[in-house]
Amino acid sequence: MTFETAFTMDSSSIKFGPGVTREVGYDMKQLGSRRVMVVTDPNLANSETVEITLEALRAEGIDAVLFDRVRVEPTDVSFKEAIEFATEGQFDGYVAVGGGSSMDTAKAANLYATYPADFLAYVNPPIGQGRPAPGRLKPLIAIPTTAGTGSETTGVAIFDLLEMHAKTGIAHRALRPVMGIVDPNNTRQMPKMVAACSGLDVLSHALESLTALPFQQRPAPEHPSLRPAYQGANPVSDIWAAQAIRLVSQNIVRAIEVPTDEAARGQMLLAATFAGIGFGNAGVHLPHGMSYPVSGMVRDFKPEGYVTDHPIIPHGMSVILNAPAVFRFTAPANPERHLYAAGLMGVNTMNARPEEAGELLAGAIIDLMRQTGMPNGLKAVGFGPEDVEQLVAGTLPQHRVTKLSPRPAGPEELRQLFLNSMTLW
Ligand SMILES: [Zn+2]
């Protein structure tokens, strides 16, 4: 096997600032689109952000059609509904308004409406065939309304494949939005629990990309088109990830407790974008890989502050619940990086020994979880040791991310990690 020798640095163009949503009409027109599908979820259908978006597009003479049936935590069924709408609508551009769910749905709608194929054709292997997008897609502009997913900067669309009770996704550079319009005015209405979960998701994106398997330890692709978007830790993604860890650690508690603090909220949104640029190129690993079955196997948990008709374990919550156990486990593979991450979170690591790295980082994460009202482990969201086999079975197919763990994790290791995540403090 030959190892990888190259890495790439891809990102959407980013426009950041209070009020920039009003520029979406101008930006879409510059991209040459005349008929645009605006993709959002039912909770946001009547929001100011959607209203401003539609107005701005129409003011530039663009035919803007609203699709407001995105499912929060989307599924193959909800993706297909959007794909059908997109195919029938003959759009030449897309605007996504919302959290990761809206952005990911817009990416899928754009892909399958532009290059129709069997649904599993583009889905990540081993669940799907992982076929690369055949070419460029129609322009997509993403307008995030939560400071979390960083989906505005990535070529990844995540969904729940209902028959398998597991999250999987579609990942290809071509899915990446052309532009992310990142406007702090759009996160004013975020409920506290949404802000907490999305903020901790940002933290984990950054921690995972910083500690991921380095790109030069991955096998070289047989052809440039097969180089994955998630390439492993690399010198450019490290910079974005490190800054994101710092920004989240300094601002998350304040942004949740005082939602009127424009500065703290703006910094969290910036952190989400920074982390997105980092993990969009480096990737994430075990906390995300393990989170997919946790979210997919939810029974009756409904977090406060989430408006939803079905039980959900929000993405960020399912990620962070596994994070402390994971970083204790991965630290021996690269103690310096784990210590560096703990230091970025504000831990004094001056006299720390390498063997303390995992504990210091896990402790810093648990501190933030307690300050932001997270449940105390998987038990608190409805799981017990009897669920571990099924959680492991749901994690094993997440190759795209689990193989980026700096320390290999097979069924036995995953079993232990889930058991260690049942109760955290
Ligand atoms: Zn995430």
pLDDT digits (tens, 9 = 90+) for 372-421: 999 999 999 999 999 999 999 999 988 888 999 999 999 999 999 999 99
Confirm if 168 and 159 have CB atoms less than 8 A apart: yes
Report residue 62 as tokens. Answer: 């663009």
pLDDT of residue 177: 96
pLDDT of residue 329: 98
Q: How far is the CA of 58 from the centre of ligand 1 (A)?
A: 33
pLDDT of residue 361: 98
Q: How far is the CA of 115 from the centre of ligand 1 (A)?
A: 27
Residue among 404, 374, 378 nearest 390 (CA):
378
Evaluate if residue 26 carries a pLDDT over 80.
yes
Instruction: Name which residue leads in pLDDT, 93 or 260.
Output: 93
- One-letter amino acid at 101 equals S
Helices (H), 258-379: 262-282, 286-296, 315-330, 335-344, 357-371
Q: What is the mean pLDDT of residues 34-56?
A: 97
Q: How far is the CA of 90 from the centre of ligand 1 (A)?
A: 31
Query: What is each CA distance from 29 to 23, 53, 87, 143, in whole angstroms?
Result: 10, 13, 21, 16
Q: How far is the CA of 287 from the centre of ligand 1 (A)?
A: 9
Evaluate if residue 162 carries a pLDDT over 80.
yes
Give burial (CB, 10 Å; 0-12/13-18/19+) of 46.
exposed
Burial 66-90 (b: 16+ CB within 10 A, else e): bbbebbbbbebebbebbbebbeebe
Evaluate if residue 305 carries a pLDDT over 90.
no
Helices (H), 17-139: 24-30, 48-59, 76-89, 100-114
pLDDT of residue 368: 98
Q: How far is the CA of 24 from the centre of ligand 1 (A)?
A: 26
Q: How far is the CA of 288 from the centre of ligand 1 (A)?
A: 6
Q: How far is the CA of 324 from the centre of ligand 1 (A)?
A: 15
Evaluate if residue 166 carries a pLDDT over 80.
no
Residue among 64, 73, 124, 65 nearest 102 (CA):
73
Q: How far is the CA of 202 from the centre of ligand 1 (A)?
A: 7
Q: What is the mean pLDDT of residues 268-292?
A: 94
- Neighbour tally for 225: CB within 10 Å: 10
pLDDT of residue 165: 75
Q: How far is the CA of 316 from the centre of ligand 1 (A)?
A: 6
Q: How far is the CA of 318 from the centre of ligand 1 (A)?
A: 9
Q: How far is the CA of 63 from the centre of ligand 1 (A)?
A: 33
Q: How far is the CA of 208 from the centre of ligand 1 (A)?
A: 10
Using a pLDDT cut of 70, give the percent of the chain over it: 100
pLDDT of residue 150: 83
- Neighbour tally for 235: CB within 10 Å: 10
pLDDT class of 370 with cuts at 50, 70, 90: very high
Q: How far is the CA of 298 from the centre of ligand 1 (A)?
A: 17
Q: How far is the CA of 199 from the centre of ligand 1 (A)?
A: 10
Confirm if 99 and 40 have CB atoms less than 8 A apart: no
Q: What is the mean pLDDT of residues 276-282?
A: 92
Q: How far is the CA of 205 from the centre of ligand 1 (A)?
A: 6
Cα distance between the two ends of the chain: 43
- Neighbour tally for 346: CB within 10 Å: 14
In eight-state DSSP terms, residue 9 is: -
Q: How far is the CA of 206 from the centre of ligand 1 (A)?
A: 10
Q: How far is the CA of 356 from the centre of ligand 1 (A)?
A: 26
pLDDT of residue 51: 98
Q: How far is the CA of 315 from the centre of ligand 1 (A)?
A: 6
Helix, strand or coil for residue 226? helix
Give pLDDT tens digits for 234-266: 999 999 999 999 999 999 999 999 988 999 999
Report d(CA 160, CA 425) in Å as an integer: 30
Q: How far is the CA of 290 from the centre of ligand 1 (A)?
A: 11
Q: How far is the CA of 93 from the centre of ligand 1 (A)?
A: 26
pLDDT class of 173 with cuts at 50, 70, 90: confident
Which residues have CB under 8 Å from 301's CB, separation 6+?
A: 311, 312, 313, 381, 382
Name the strands in the sheet holding 93-98, side by side, starting at the edge strand that comes first in the sequence.
13-16, 179-182, 140-144, 93-98, 35-39, 63-67
Q: What is the mean pLDDT of residues 87-101?
A: 96
Give burial (CB, 10 Å; 0-12/13-18/19+) of 192.
middle
In eight-state DSSP terms, residue 266 is: H
Is the entire prediction scored with pTM above 0.85?
yes
Confirm if 82 and 159 have CB atoms less than 8 A apart: no
* Residue in the block written with tokens 């989240």: 248
pLDDT of residue 372: 97
pLDDT class of 233 with cuts at 50, 70, 90: very high
Q: How far is the CA of 320 from the centre of ligand 1 (A)?
A: 9
pLDDT of residue 309: 80
Q: How far is the CA of 419 from the centre of ligand 1 (A)?
A: 21
- Mean pLDDT rounded to a whole number for the chain: 94
Q: How far is the CA of 170 from the centre of ligand 1 (A)?
A: 14
Confirm if 5 and 220 have CB atoms less than 8 A apart: yes
